[in-house]
Amino acid sequence: MSDAAPPAALLLPRSLPEALDALAAAPELTVLAGGTDLMVAVNYGRLRPASVLSLRGVDELRSWRRLDDGRLWLGAGLTYRRLQDADLAPLVPALAQAARTVGSPQIRNSGTLGGNLGTASPAGDTLPVLASLGAEVVLRSAAAGERTLPLVEGDTPFLTGPKRTARRPDELLVAVVVPASAGPQEFLKIGTRNAMVISVANCALVVDTAARWLRCTLGSVGPVPMRCPDAEAFAAERLDWPALEAGRPALVGSDAAATVEEFGIRCADAARPIDDHRSTAAYRRHACAVLARRALRRAAA
Ligand SMILES: Cc1cc2nc3c(=O)[nH]c(=O)nc-3n(C[C@H](O)[C@H](O)[C@H](O)COP(=O)(O)OP(=O)(O)OC[C@H]3O[C@@H](n4cnc5c(N)ncnc54)[C@H](O)[C@@H]3O)c2cc1C
């Protein structure tokens, strides 16, 4: 039980416009979604929010829909449990795989996609998946309306560093927009035990068989998710795309093992790991190679 003083005010808006108006009037409000990061900070005395804006009653944020262009609009309030449901999981398999690895059932019932983005931990498990999907982050404020930022690419990404984002104080994270699955997707994670563990390293591989690209992103081995462009180009040149499109193995023949091996080495080269209380940089780099190879084998071999 925490001995933290209760916040001076707890606002419980029932709609998105109501929540945005409250934030416009008081941008210093601390936004609360599932509380699985925020309440840890409060309980450890790292945060003493004067006033809290809870998003629990904002149903718009808990939904998802298909946009006219076929992409998926995933509300920031979708929980990890919801991301695994049968209507959504097949459309974003790597995101569902990542969701399955997060915390415990209690954490997965409360913790949200928006909260993972809001915390912006380098170890956040959804972030490499979203980077490999080329996700766009949708932010909205009462005064300026909506703007969309790429997660990590370009000059103005949403993620600007470890635990730092481009969100303005009067904005809410409303959604992420991602393509629906168009090929194999894999998410793999390594930690100090099998469950209830923060990633020492993780890896998300997303393949689009029609557009013929693959993207690989590593997590927990850099300030933000690290894409592996050199490894991606290397593998893309060596895949049998028609076979992959037909659901058959796309890495065959005597070169297949060497391709997988080299892919792992090139991915590990893209990592910028550090030594910390969870692991060493050397182990993390080794883990990146193992995870990347395993992901490519599962996706294509
Ligand atoms: C026991 C335990 C195990 C965990 N295991 C994992 C794990 O395996 N992998 C992993 O990645 N994480 C893990 N976490 C961390 C946490 O569960 C996730 O980061 C989760 O996604 C946070 O979501 P939340 O809804 O609880 O966010 P909150 O704690 O409510 O908020 C987190 C941050 O995001 C901001 N925020 C939330 N929603 C919005 C919004 N819509 N607009 C603007 N800002 C917003 C908040 O202001 C706050 O700064 C674990 C946590 C615990 C306590």
Look at ligand 1, atom 45, and give the residue with the nearest C-alpha.
118
CB of 124 within 6 A of ligand 1: the answer is: yes
Domain residue limits, the chain: 9-54, 59-178, 185-300
Closest-CA residue, ligand 1 atom 44, reads 118
Any atom of ligand 1 within 6 Å of the Cβ of 37: yes
Write out pLDDT tens, residues 42-63. Answer: 999 999 999 999 999 999 999 9
Structure pTM?
0.97
Structure tokens at 105: 């059932």
Residue 260 Cβ contacting ligand 1 at under 6 Å = no
Torsion angle of the four alpha carbons 277, 48, 115, 205, in this order, in degrees rounded to the nearest 10: -20
Rounded to an integer, what distance in angstroms lies between the CA atom of residue 246 and that of residue 12? 50
Rounded (10°) angle between helices 229-238 and 256-270: 170
pLDDT tens, 155-187?
999 999 999 999 999 999 999 999 999 999 999
pLDDT at position 194: 86
**Pocket flag, ligand 1, residue 92 (CB < 6 Å):** no
By alpha-carbon position, which residue is closest to atom 27 of ligand 1?
115
Give yes or no for residue 247 having a pLDDT over 60. Answer: yes
Same fold, 59-178 and 185-300: no
The CATH number that domain 59-178 falls under is: 3.30.465.10
- 23, 29, 38: which to mutate for ligand 1, most atoms within 8 A of CB? 38
Q: In what order do the strands lie in the sheet with 185-190?
A: 185-190, 201-208, 213-219, 226-227
Query: Which overall architecture, per CATH, does domain 9-54 show?
Result: 2-Layer Sandwich (3.30)
Average per-residue pLDDT for the chain: 96
Find the mean pLDDT for residues 87-103.
98
Among 33, 129, 121, 118, which residue's Cα sits nearest to residue 77? 33
- Per residue in 105-147, pLDDT tens? 999 999 999 999 999 999 999 999 999 999 999 999 999 999 9
Ligand 1 pocket member 55 (CB < 6 A): yes
Look at residues 232, 158, 188, 179 and name the one whose alpha carbon lies nearest to residue 94.
188
Chain centroid to CA 58: 21
Alpha carbons within 13 A on the beta-carbon side of 211: 12
Q: Under 8 Å CB-to-CB from 189, ≥6 apart: which residues? A: 98, 101, 125, 199, 201, 202, 203, 291
What's the CA-to-centroid distance between 99 and ligand 1, angstroms?
12
Residue 259 reports pLDDT greater than 80: yes
CATH architecture of 185-300: 2-Layer Sandwich (3.30)
